[in-house]
Amino acid sequence: MTTDDLTPGGPLVALDGVSKSYGSVLALRDVSLEVHAGEITCVLGDNGAGKSTLIKIIAGLHPHDAGRYTVAGEEVRHTSPRQALDRGIATVYQDLAVVPLMPVWRNFFLGSEPTRGRGPLRRLDTAAMRATTHQALLGMGIDLRDVDQPIGTLSGGERQCVAIARAVHFGAKVLVLDEPTAALGVKQSGVVLKYVAAARDAGLGVVLITHNPHHAYLVGDRFVLLKRGAMSGSHLRKDITLDELTREMAGGSELDELTHELSRRTP
């Protein structure tokens, strides 16, 4: 990992030589990355590259077996997502874990609902939740028609944006996004990337997991490439072009060999 940081101060989150095994299967081997405030670190790789395992380690779902995992310079070993969340690390998974029939405001506060009154008169403060949800979304540039509509009626891109705004509102310092554009079309992907950039501009450190180098290069400051559980590259944006990033992710010499094999032979 280069020491030519883009931002002053140490990283919010850093992995140094982290590895993870499941029985005899080595899922992640000697992976390092840094996440800085106001920057986006993109982790790229195809299926089976180790991206899911990396997410689980950062999010606290699974502890790492070797290497160092530090948060704000303090070495940690998370054994639950709550520990990571308490340190300001919020993870937005691809399936989003929303309740489709509940309104947007209810999903926004799911698990963190404010109440009013005491004892038997205690009840959810629905007015405050509606108003806060609307303002928090507006603060991210998201102007929904109605926060009372079921979140299942929103497009995939809009649901991703609500999840990002929720993480920002509840004080996340590091936002981990699991393939947020994987199931979206071009227009919706652009909308989501716009709000990923808004989270960065709000001062968060963002980890963007993706298999799309074009999406990564639109917003990324740092790029970590994974292949079969190991790092195949680590670059700052200023040190690599989109074509180079795409070629490296595609396999470089392996792609040349495949191109040669598939080229039409002339008589």
Separation of alpha carbons 210 and 188, rounded Å: 15
Domain boundaries, the chain: 13-100+172-262
Contact 41, 51 (CB under 8 A): no
Beta bridge partners of 90: 175
Q: CA 112 from chain center: how many Å?
A: 21
Instruction: Give the phi and the psi of residue 128 in degrees, each rounded to 5.
Output: -65, -40
Pick the closest to residue 78 from 58, 92, 93 (CA basis).
Answer: 58
Instruction: Give the phi and the psi of residue 48 in degrees, each rounded to 5.
Output: 85, 5
- 8-state DSSP, 32: E
pLDDT at 2: 39
Separation of alpha carbons 227 and 229, rounded Å: 5
Q: Give the count of alpha carbons within 13 A of 233, CB side only.
A: 21
Per-residue pLDDT reduced to its tens digit, 68-102: 999 999 999 998 889 999 999 999 987 777 888 99
Paired tokens of 73? 């310079």
Per-residue pLDDT reduced to its tens digit, 102-140: 999 999 998 888 888 888 888 888 999 999 999 988 888
pLDDT at 183: 78
What's the pTM?
Answer: 0.85
Architecture (CATH level 2) of domain 13-100+172-262: 3-Layer(aba) Sandwich (3.40)
Q: Got the DSSP string for 63-116?
A: --SEEEEEETTEE---SSHHHHHHTTEEEE-TTTT--TTSBHHHHHTTT---EE
Pick the closest to residue 163 from 188, 137, 138, 135 (CA basis).
Answer: 137
Largest CA-CA distance found in the chain, in angstroms, rounded: 87
Length of the chain: 267
Per-residue pLDDT reduced to its tens digit, 144-184: 878 999 999 988 888 888 988 888 888 899 999 999 888 78
**Cα–Cα distances in Å, from 167 out to 112, 201, 205, 253?**
12, 14, 12, 40
Per-residue pLDDT reduced to its tens digit, 4-40: 444 556 899 999 999 999 988 899 999 999 999 999 9
Question: Which residue is it, tokens 């990283």?
Answer: 11
